[in-house]
Structure 1
């Protein structure tokens, strides 16, 4: 019997709906997960000003992310779905945002300063797109629009942490990499993937790719993935 430890479970299984959407939008997904912002994080060469700008806008993004999951509570049609999305709202508002603020304080950013910062155009475009997708569609549409963030950060973190080319020693962004690559966030990502599969099974059947909903779901996923890449670029450019 080999003593080699088993490979960790990937945050996004290929057979999941998110895995199928990734494959259908492979070029856009690669541009997002392999963006220069991410590569520079891994090397520790990302300018500090770019990271600080990203952190501020990510704080503002999380406010709307919580609103989107609150909308998911409204869009749900049974108590289990309502409770799952309500749990995400509670975790975002009372845990993740608090941890985000504590992390930002280490970079000289106060919550008051972040609240007072105007949203960048990339932040507005992304968050409003997701909310509009949720208002116009059903719960599945909303969760698919949220998937590049809810599931993608876990994949990025897992890849960076496992990649021998990632520099951890002396990397000022090591904590960020270890947060999103660590077991707690990997579990968050897997739960998001599983939630989408359960909702898809109810609203689009067991094989959504074989239904007439597939083109619209791909469009939502592709658009949100491109907006994620734009969010990285906003951080890199420090644009407003």
Structure 2
């Protein structure tokens, strides 16, 4: 069961979401808020798995409200304004629904959120994960041969030794970090900032609040998107300078 919160100043939007959710047994609307301040007060005392969040609300806009959350739940934006989509995805939302949206489009978004919730719960229930980095103390990371460096990551009751030159990118998902390697994906309970501080800066760069990429794995860059393998990774506005130094 996914506990959900509606945050929207339009009663019609509440009605539409409620009607759609009535058809889904795995969705439960815990609270309906008509302002971001009402949602803040509720979240101070309660936890939810998913928020349906409007953008254009009085006094405190939806995206500004999202930035105030230190550990936000899964977010699905529901908005009549398409121009905020890029900014929304930079805040690691699950999906962006453009009003008016159909039940089929709504179902696709909540299924995506449900799968993400299941992934996080499964990983958490298996073990408390830790991450340690082991690099040679005799060689500076800026000059070391790539295949000689490795990282130890605990996940799924195992300690994985991963060569740094096989890592494609890292993604922050809630309280976890997903490490995408050439042949697998490892999930660890950690913060992306810890990886940013420990990984060699000549090999990896943070390009978004939710992503660190391996420079040598970039296929191409198009606008504010980086293509690595089959993934298009957004470039956050505050991280553009990090990437720019490698493009000179």
- What is the TM-score when the length of structure 2 is the normalising length? 0.22
- What is the TM-score when the length of structure 1 is the normalising length? 0.23
- Tell me: higher relative CO, structure 1 or 2? Use CA pairs within 8 A at least 6 residues apart: 1
Higher helix share: 1
Higher strand share: 2
